[in-house]
Amino acid sequence: MTSVATSISLITRAEAERGLKGSPGASAGSTCGADLAKGPWEFDAAEALRGLPAYGPGASVGDVAPASTPRQGQLPQEYRDAPEAELHERIRAAKATLGDRVVVLGHFYQRDEVVEHADFVGDSFQLANAALTRPDAEAIVFCGVHFMAETADILSRDDQAVILPNLAAGCSMADMADIDSVEACWAQLEELFGTEPDEDGRVPVIPVTYMNSSAALKGFCGERGGIVCTSSNAATVLEWAFERAQRVLFFPDQHLGRNTAKAMGVPLAQMPMWSPRKPWGGTDPETLQDARVILWHGFCSVHKRFSVAQIEKARAEYPGVRVIVHPECPMEVVDAADEYGSTDYIRKAIARAEEPTVFAIGTEINLVNRLAAEYPQHTIFCLDPVICPCSTMYRIHPGYLAWVLEGLVEGEVRNRIEVPAEVAGTARVALERMLAARP
Ligand code: SF4
């Protein structure tokens, strides 16, 4: 067991189930792809045929998945053919047989048919910590995406197996910063800035990675005096970094970095963007010398869909509407909103509203619809009228959950995610720095 621990704010399974009942305030509209109605196994098969990974239908459908993206082997036919009611029954039966030997975690952005089987529902870091409250669990089944399972593996005991039900559930944003490109960038920055601290003892540059990144990048930060942040604590982490460095290299999400640094008073001119594979990242040495935050060219395709026009439309249709967006949204969207914050912030803001309120929310549709159902006294809708979920969260389906749970019943661990010990060690250092950082 690691020493990492934090206060967690999760919703219980009962609360999540209340959110499944539907509500008149729930978002409704067309979907961004007819393929969303298909079983994810059709995309596993298509990838095997083409030899190339893809993210699947949904918001990231146009993003190019790197060749290194994990792929899922074919789900056995019986799980592909089983009616959904049968899958739910098999999941419940397997969980009952396994008892405390298993804990199932469900991310806020997962489809409801998966969330209904989760013991905890939350964001990625909350869930990794929730698993620590179940020391008897031999297996942690993480219904989320790849980097989340890696974080859970880093924080859990070595003898606990972390399982990702579909290996193709990656994250297109996390894939936008790979370790080789970040190391190449770092080498250029060190050449330009040197490594000597200034008279205040601040090093030239420090790396900060968003939780939504591979374990390798967390380890990279741990090794170089850097740190991890979440969307809840990004400002605290940037303050921590500015106390120790003249500049920050922030990856992979440019929007979280820009929105957070801008709110702290960093001018946009001092936030150049680093595009991997371009000389000097597409910028120039003078701009980099003057930089306070060097932003990696990464983004979340779910949150990139939100626009100022959607906010204007919501305000025209619902005078007095409260617009809350996630900080992964583009800067102009955050600027046009009334508030911005993490999924935890959005949930708490709605939970605290005493009077019936109209909320227009800029984050993933599964969470927004669940909140709409959970709080029927409010009108809650997604700013995006088109239903376009996260492509990689979509790759988890009850069929895969039943398959991994029944594997455990039979004594077989399927789809285990294991972070190599040397990477886990340095990644844990970066996570521990984050937990120790105080406002
Ligand atoms: S919502 Fe965006 S950041 Fe989150 S898992 Fe999906 S692609 Fe990645």
210-222 residue pLDDT tens = 999 999 999 999 9
Write out pLDDT tens, residues 280-303. 999 999 999 999 999 999 999 999
Atom of ligand 1 nearest to the CA of 391: 6
Helices (H), 82-170: 84-98, 112-115, 124-132, 146-155
Give the pLDDT score at 125.
85
Distance CA 124, CA 114 (A): 16
Write out pLDDT tens, residues 171-216. 999 999 999 999 999 999 999 999 999 999 999 999 999 999 999 9
Pairing of strands 11-12, 120-122: antiparallel
**Cis check: omega of the bond before 252, within 30 degrees of 0:** yes
3-state secondary structure 190-202: HHHHCCCCCCCCC
Write out pLDDT tens, residues 81-90. 999 999 999 9
Give the pLDDT score at 135.
86
Which tops the pLDDT comparison, 102 or 128?
Answer: 102
Distance CA 228, CA 217 (A): 9
Instruction: Indicate whether residue 109 lines ligand 1 (CB < 6 A).
Output: yes
Distance CA 107, CA 99 (A): 21
CA of 271 from ligand 1 middle (Å) equals 23
Instruction: Indicate whether residue 390 lines ligand 1 (CB < 6 A).
Output: yes
Q: pTM of the prediction?
A: 0.93
Atom of ligand 1 nearest to the CA of 390: 6
Give the pLDDT score at 13.
43
Domains parsed from the chain with CATH numbers: 36-172+392-418 (3.40.50.10800), 179-298 (3.40.50), 303-382 (3.40.50.10800)
Distance CA 15, CA 23 (A): 14
